Structure 1
């Protein structure tokens, strides 16, 4: 018999409300609709399917205050993470959201109506208190940044009547609801299940620790990775799921099962660990592995760990009886070369030789094509990772040139385009400022807002091409630092970004202008011209990867400097 759900009853709203779905669907079309963002959709899915039991909707102010202050809902049930529908003041007024109102909750991805909420209350949270009590208050914490920068100023609470589940098109066979997974365990005859939370690829050490945990409890293993929102910079869930699928046959005698969890993580350390335990209990697990710095965001800007290494384990252990799920402490495994086996690090005598590969080192080896030994990971796992992490000379990158009109950035961009195409090995895309203006941004003017929007479009296109393994050469004027930094941020999710400041002095640009554009600008015939009546925020030494001045050197030398920069980072190495 599987572990009973948290609160005693699994709140599968779609199953419970099945007879009313057609009626509700018709009503939903007539109501004002809130279109849910990515995080709200993750929360909505787990409210609807019972993963967040005993919740039946987004938290009211009483529930929210209880959770923030005491880890408890208003009815006394343990719950550690606020699950709130955040909205802006303008949207609340526009939609007429107030206590007693009924509103449709809609999927932003396909405009499907998911449910109807009867509003219990609309309240303004004390975000500073929430940040402090729930996440520890560190301003560098990603959840604290999200809270202050991306969530609406009001929360709307109320119960939900379900219309439909969220639609997924990837790994459908692995997307179990809590009720479905409990039934799956029952079919397999599993009564003791150790759940393993992960947002990273798994290797031999993970397999060894989960096998040990299961055998010591005479249980089976549920690999339950998060495929909603995780920590920025994490490996995409498509790659990770392929890794888990490759690893599954390495478990003995059908010991392990794989199911996906559509959770939006907050990286909330101790609070998050309690939350994860509640969710796994709802999915039918009897045991839960809590890792070192479980769901921790890492270090802050001062280099200090935001949470202690075992804070999460202590937090879950404190509520062990109430949770009704046994905590299995994560054991740090290490490889013993002489005996070709893994053992818990604290059980290995100091004189015994050990070997480990850190996450940073693994990423370096993937990036450079370095050897990843079989003692560390299985060949089928490495194969999947290499498909998603090509070596440096096959990775995409963006060279972003900025400077005044007639600074020579276009000439450098064209010459670099020819040079990289001559070398071969990857596709090359040239995004000249004038071309982008005519093809992508023809409706935009030259206000600061429109200029920023233009650079945002270039950044998006460059990021998609970089992700696909292309070399991108962009050469807009890009006069504002904020938009250049935003372009760097979006591109660096997928590859390297190099800002080249073509710092040819304005006087030289104007003096050598054969088209007479500067003369027209000086006469007032062209308005909003950068360097004449519009500002240019020159990149700082920290922002620019390379500074070139074509009043002192020629295009060939400039291109050679860029090529040397790319070669030094391994991007142009030949196989």
Structure 2
């Protein structure tokens, strides 16, 4: 989020004009940005952000104070310095103004899950079309879709909106076609697929689009971002509210019915929870794959002993990670191909192997062996370990807690860049603080995979080894803030693997890590050492 000041003016037609005065510029959080776009493009029947009374009524009753049904609060949290603003320019993350808010109420939320307690309410006035966000060419406004249907002469036909957050596999495609036939009667129903994805991430959208030839004729696709916060202002929303929000947005696009594509096993909301829906939310007909007939049929026509169990999303993700083919009975070839492109096998993904443990735990020795094993498996690897890295990457830093944290973040940044380019980074710093390790994990996982190894050798064993005499100096007070003696080591609770070198030979610990990487799919099961050139870049850091 950013706060600043810029000269922004709006004319009577709500278009950007030569500035006349100044107003604070604020970039809202992603949830609020999603609300703002849906207000501005007409998908919401709202003119701006809610007052305290409107928000409370929506949370409690699912209605505005005037009785209008509406499922979720739409509020604008702002930092303290903007709490008294009378005007506010709302901008995207790149600083481009989207709208001007004329503040009608300043209010405070006592119970919240947001860092800001202050709220501003009031109407928003359009400034300029949004440019920020992925798949902008598919983020069509409701008026555009309704206009296309009018021009095509199909405006009087039923329109089935399908909310999709995941690829459309065979079961989902059968459900969509069955629902379209049901509401269309003579086959005249059209389909609009609303793809729900974040503003800055296309996610699995290409895999959803890959199913287009298998959907009814004239199926249209629109990308939108429905706010995903199940709690706002600290209040849990009743079940089914997200479905109701989708129904309101679908109606704005001209839909007469809504079908929500759900993962296997996901429970559907009850009829009571859908009671305020502006259009019918259809229950999805159940389909099962008949192994004897080798086709999909309605569930009541397939005996249990002939029904194939459909893999869930987590199982599909694991199959893709391990490079396994998705069953043809489960998903169309076009969708499978796109999924394999979007979610390559782990042997082709960047990876950071991050070993953490006390000084003398053996992590550096293990890291060197792991790097060599990764190299022999045919992957490009960089070893970040020991004094060389501290001298070259973090020259000038002290051993204070702040500087040690900065040192780890720098290592994390380098590892994240290696990972982003498809390489393997093996890091072995002490990294005693959980918060800093979490920051490194977050940096890496933006573009690749992170594997945390806790080398959990006990302190007394590390002290016995004490090859450099560091523990003795720390005990004597010669080294301040020494991890394990005068400064804490926060043991990981999120380690992917825990090894203890106390009674293990060096080769055993290395083999344990390599075996875990191989089982996870990051290393191939079989490799010929003779066919893989060396790719190790060796740097030291402790």
Report TM bin, short chain: 0.7 to 0.9
Give the Cα–Cα distance (whole angstroms) in 1 for the partners of residues 443 and 298 of structure 2.
40
* 1:422/1:195 CA distance change after superposition, 3 Å: same
Matches within 5 A, 1:35-74: 35-53=27-45, 55-74=46-65
What is the match of residue 256 of structure 1?
Answer: 219
Q: Confirm whether residue 241 of structure 1 aligns to residue 205 of structure 2.
A: yes
Q: Secondary structure at the match of 1:118?
A: strand
What is the match of residue 432 of structure 2?
Answer: 479
TM superposition shift of 1:194: 0.3
TM-score by length of 1: 0.77
Q: Confirm whether residue 118 of structure 1 aligns to residue 118 of structure 2.
A: no
Residue of structure 1 aligned with 2:335, choices 343, 363, 381: 381
Does the 8 Å contact 2:159/2:191 carry over to 1? yes
* 1:364/1:84 CA distance change after superposition, 3 Å: same
Alignment RMSD:
3.3
TM superposition shift of 1:486: 5.3
TM superposition shift of 1:377: 1.1
Matches within 5 A, 1:514-529: 514=468, 526-529=479-482
Give the Cα–Cα distance (whole angstroms) in 2 for the partners of residues 444 and 159 of structure 1.
50
**1:208-259 deviation per Cα after TM superposition (whole angstroms, max 9, x unaligned):** 1111111222211111110127xxxxxx95352211221101224x241111
TM superposition shift of 1:474: 1.3
TM superposition shift of 1:195: 0.4
**Higher helix fraction: Structure 1 or Structure 2?**
1
Q: Confirm whether residue 153 of structure 1 aligns to residue 123 of structure 2.
A: no
* 1:436/1:17 CA distance change after superposition, 3 Å: farther
Please, which runs of 5 or more residues in structure 1 have no aligned partner?
1-15, 128-146, 230-235, 299-308
Does the 8 Å contact 1:290/1:313 carry over to 2? no
Q: Secondary structure at the match of 2:309?
A: coil
**1:387-425 deviation per Cα after TM superposition (whole angstroms, max 9, x unaligned):** 22333444444322222334442233233222311321x
Does the 8 Å contact 1:407/1:509 carry over to 2? no
Q: Confirm whether residue 272 of structure 1 aligns to residue 257 of structure 2.
A: no
Aligned length: 502
Q: Confirm whether residue 202 of structure 1 aligns to residue 194 of structure 2.
A: no
**1:103-122 deviation per Cα after TM superposition (whole angstroms, max 9, x unaligned):** 121222x1111121111222
TM superposition shift of 1:170: 3.5
**Higher strand fraction: Structure 1 or Structure 2?**
2
Matches within 5 A, 1:5-24: 19-23=13-17
Does the 8 Å contact 2:454/2:492 carry over to 1? no
Does the 8 Å contact 1:49/1:177 carry over to 2? yes
Give the Cα–Cα distance (whole angstroms) in 2 for the partners of residues 497 and 464 of structure 1.
15
Does the 8 Å contact 1:33/1:95 carry over to 2? no
Please, which runs of 5 or more residues in structure 2 have no aligned partner?
1-9, 231-236, 528-542
* 1:160/1:374 CA distance change after superposition, 3 Å: same
* 1:243/1:187 CA distance change after superposition, 3 Å: farther
Matches within 5 A, 1:40-189: 40-53=32-45, 55-87=46-78, 91-92=79-80, 94-95=81-82, 97-98=84-85, 101-108=86-93, 110-127=94-111, 147-148=112-113, 150-168=114-132, 170-189=134-153
Does the 8 Å contact 2:452/2:495 carry over to 1? no
